[in-house]
Chains A and B, each alone.
Chain A
Amino acid sequence: MSRLQADHLYKVFGRRPDEAVRELAESGADRDALRADGTTAAVIDASFTVEPGQIFVVMGLSGSGKSTLLRMLNGLLTPTAGRVLFDGRDLTALSDRELREVRSRKISMVFQHFALFPHRSVLENAAYGLEVQGVPRAEREKRAAEALELCGLAGWEKSWPDELSGGMQQRVGLARALATDADLLLMDESFSALDPLIRRDMQDQLLVLQQKLKKTIVFITHDLNEAMRLGDRVAVMRDGRIVQLGTAEDILVRPADDYVASFIQDVDRTRVLTAAAVMTDGTVEPGDCPPGCGCRSVLPETPLAELCTVAARSLHPVAVENADGEVLGVVAQDRLLGVMGGLDADLRPTTPTGAAASTAVPGTHAAPAPTGDPAAQEAAEAPAAPRVPRPAASVEASAGDGEEVTARA
């Protein structure tokens, strides 16, 4: 069973929200049409599942509805329609009291601007969740101190939040969230307010912690690099809808539309793409390899950045082998350069699903997948077919943009 499942979530602010949901679901009206009536559709038909131990990243620009989506996952906001299943329990059906119980024990949250209580010491801040649970002082202070140590803040317990740097403050925020032993961690742009070096540090630390703790994390960000670094799976949101859902590689290799495509331009693809994604069929013939050739083979999950150094020393295409030494394919130097240069349309040209992927240019999906269809949703999640439900109304516009992508390809 998945840990967390969002099932056709809608959140509409303003007058007559139910009516607005009906319009959105049935006639596929979009945000702008509703805005004219003074209603704001923050989240439209969001469905996804998060497995235990996964980091699920929701990426989108401000106003895309990602923070609203996050707040529905722990019941801070009540969905206008749809359900949130947490360990199979429908959060939307719980009473306020039950919901508070779930929030205090099972789900914790890390905030963008840290949200540390300025009138409490670092230790008291970290112990806050436990205090709400009613844990006796001695025990909660012990557990809070452990959480602080885990986040690298041992020795700062007696300090006050305003005496710490931004990065340290967010570690306190993280410690506060971890101290409660919640299974699910919601992180709302938690690293966005930090400067780039610290941000990178915190990302690394989160990944290290995650290896140890195996929490389930939903992480919100507007930074695609961060999304790709952290996310086991990434959902891209635009105007309240999830426009693409998949692994970092799926999104980079097969952007669902021009919107996503415009995002990935800035992504450092050598760190996201792997050898498996760019290899072609074939093998390295013994004759190609002259004696003294210092070549090595690589594993399929090797990122391109690393592959480059191997390829540079090799006189022939680099072999991609699995752990058993079985050759899966090869990467030629010219192909490597081509891929890094952005010739993404012909990735995996020889794999059977690759053909579909190569045509998966936005706009060519003339028949839009019905937004509320779980089958389509599942299909969308399969890496091979990153098709994403799009409202019919936007197809035409996307088609135009699609040409551009094709032309560039």
Chain B
Amino acid sequence: MPRLPLGQWVDNTVDWLQAQFSWLFDAVTSLVTGLYDGIDAVLSAPQPLLFAGILAVVAWWLRGLSAGVLAFAGFAVVDSIELWDDAMSTLSLVLVATLVTLVIAVPLGIWAARSRTVSAVLRPVLDFMQTMPAMVYLIPGIIFFGVGVVPGIIATIVFALPPGVRMTELGIRQVDGELVEAAEAFGTTPRNTLLRVQLPLALPTIMAGVNQVIMLGLSMVVIAGMVGGGGLGGAVYRAIGNVDIGLGFEAGISIVILAMYLDRMTGALGSQVSPLGRRAAAKAHAARVARTGAKIWGHRPQPVTALVGVVILALVAGGMGFLGGGSATTASGKNTGHGKKISLGYIPWDEGIASTFLWKELLERRGYEVDARQLEAGALYTGLAGGQIDFQTDSWLPVTHAQYWEKYRNKLEDLGSWYGPTSLELTVPSYMKDVNSLADLKGKAGQFKGRIVGIEPSAGMMGILKDKVLEDYGLEGEYEVVDGSTPGMLAELKRAYDKKEPIVVTLWSPHWAYSGYDLKKLQDPKGSWGKGDGVHTLARKGFAADNPEVGAWLKGFKLSEKELTGLEAVIQETGKGKEQQAVRTWLDRNPGLAERLAPQ
């Protein structure tokens, strides 16, 4: 059976599309970004609690007093766990995705309902869109639209579109044929038949579709976080990357609160906007009142009252946002950056986190506005090549990250190595007495349960391990390389180490694990891992020319092993989510270092 180069074709098509239609993708990017920024600005402007109040009034109007109180409580929780801004970003992302989805899905659904051919053509396309794992859209999404919210939104749209189209089509198709015929028999035009009969009657179903679109959109936010979508998804992704259970739970519960609010509100809205639903709700309400007597918890204000409430709160919120918007961050030391924005990207490797937050702190001290985003390695390089990321400090060249370098070398600028040489290895605890070399692993799969505990599948060393090392030592088929994450691998190592169980992990030097545990690097007599890498700083093409000072600082950037492991250790001690604070502590302990790295 010859190999069908399907992936190659898709790859070529994507390259071709990118070359031919970059103007289109740029237009889409600026449109979606504009929408997102606009909505996000509106949502983030008011004081969190005031905005929670607005949302609560809406809930009160749509579902009653208890819903309003619960909504307020839920959003107050989000605010108190300091995820408000992330929640608003996520809400904006979901709203933009929903808006665009509906603008596409409803007309498509109507079209499909009126034409069997369209419906038949659309069905497999929708199946494809819905069942293709959503992460797959992210790869071309990043290439077309760059990292950030746009590929996340686009992937969300692609993923959420099918139920929107399907429910619209279903809603219209299930309108009683006799009613449509009656409309036609009285001479109604097709347009009016749609507007006056089919759509009003299909509305409950269409609103159920809207609800599903929103829910699918929310389920996509974590995936959007992997490509720099930020918001709660970013927080969840960060938490996963750092095995930060606390942050993961907080971000997760925020998503749940948001999801419940949106679900209940769209559900209630569905019955509010459709005349049939309004009648059913009124009937149910009357029946309830008749049975149990009016209850304060079920009280719902008149739409006018609710509207006035929302407007007053919004005005107050707007006024406060306007008055409160005057404060600005002040830079210590000489202000070289004048608030110029610099975007950093990093993969959650320890030396990457350390150097990224070091530079974030240094640049902020010099007056720049720095944004550091955790990304998948693939997304990081694509974003760098696309210019959405200005630089990153954790590129292992020439070996580990060679594939990315090869792919994007024309669009990247190598600002030199700041640490080296490094080495990659498989490592076992020292208590594994009879395993000293890679060759010793052969035939011991049973002992290790056939597993080599790996890190992120996108990491360059994982590629080398699977493609070269296992083959050279004849370990293919005997061992399975478990894809995971660096923190996952470290957690597994700790667990096994504490119980003195056999384990073999992928590891690299420098790494704080070598000082934390008694470990043994497996020898590589065949040299399969290749020579040691240097840790390079890569910038987008033209970054150094645009920012000569920063370019010069980065080119001169060097850390010794002692400095690096020292910084990593402080970050480990200080704890997750406080990296920048750790950097400050470390800089305080090493006076003069800031001046050396970023001379004024």
Query: Which residues of A are interface residues toward B (Cβ below 8 A)?
Result: 74, 76, 100-105, 107-109, 111-113, 115, 117-120, 128-129, 132-133, 160, 176, 180, 186
Contacts and interface: CB of A to CB of B under 8 A. Distances in A.
8 shortest A-B CB distances, which residue pairs?
A104-B187, A115-B182, A103-B187, A109-B185, A100-B187, A119-B275, A115-B178, A129-B186
B582 to A, nearest CB: 63
A100 B179 CA distance: 16
Contacts of B189: 100
Given A117-B197, A119-B274, A128-B183, 7 more contacts: A101-B187, A103-B186, A113-B178, A115-B182, A129-B187, A132-B187, A132-B188
14 contacts: A76-B185, A101-B187, A109-B182, A111-B178, A111-B181, A113-B178, A115-B176, A117-B182, A118-B201, A119-B200, A120-B275, A128-B186, A129-B186, A132-B186
B192 interface: yes
Nearest to A173: B182
B279 interface: yes
Contacts of B181: 76, 111, 115
A160 B282 CA distance: 13
A119 B182 contact: no
Contacts of B188: 100, 104, 132
Contact of B279 (A102, A104, A105, A160): A160
Contact of B184 (A76, A112, A113, A180): A76
Interface residues of B, number: 20
A105 B185 CA distance: 11
A103 B189 CA distance: 11
A133 B188 CA distance: 9
Contacts of B178: 111-113, 115
B276 interface: yes
Interface in B187-218: 187-189, 192, 197, 200-201
A204 to B, nearest CB: 25
A111 B187 CA distance: 15
Nearest to B278: A119
B201 A119 contact: yes
A109, A176, A186 pick with most chain B CB within 10 angstroms: A109
A100 B182 CA distance: 12
Nearest to B190: A96
B187 A117 contact: no
B185 A74 contact: yes
Nearest to A129: B186
Contacts of A111: 178, 181-182
B276 A119 contact: yes
A67 to B, nearest CB: 10
Contacts of A118: 201, 276
A180 B185 contact: no
B192 A132 contact: yes
Nearest to B201: A119
Nearest to B178: A115
A102 B179 contact: no
Nearest to B192: A132
Contacts of B176: 113, 115
B197 to A, nearest CB: 6
Nearest to A113: B178
Interface in B144-193: 176, 178-179, 181-189, 192
A119 to B, nearest CB: 4
A104 B186 contact: yes
Contacts of A186: 185
A133 to B, nearest CB: 8
B277 to A, nearest CB: 10
A128 B196 CA distance: 10
A39 B197 CA distance: 32
A381 to B, nearest CB: 28
Contacts of B192: 132
A100 B193 CA distance: 12
A109 B186 CA distance: 8
Contacts of A105: 187
Nearest to A128: B186
A133 B192 CA distance: 12
A180 B201 contact: no
Given A102-B187, A180-B186, A117 B179 contact: yes
A104 B188 CA distance: 8
B283 to A, nearest CB: 10
A14 to B, nearest CB: 15
B493 to A, nearest CB: 65
B305 to A, nearest CB: 25
A158 to B, nearest CB: 12
A160 B176 CA distance: 17
B272 to A, nearest CB: 14
B377 to A, nearest CB: 55
Nearest to A112: B178
A76 B201 CA distance: 22
A55 B408 CA distance: 83
A101 B188 CA distance: 9
A23 B36 CA distance: 65
Contact of A103 (B185, B201, B274, B276): B185
A189 to B, nearest CB: 11
Contacts of A117: 179, 182, 197, 201
A159 to B, nearest CB: 11
Contacts of B187: 100-105, 129, 132-133
Contacts of B184: 76, 103
B91 to A, nearest CB: 32
Interface in B270-289: 274-276, 279
B185 A108 contact: yes
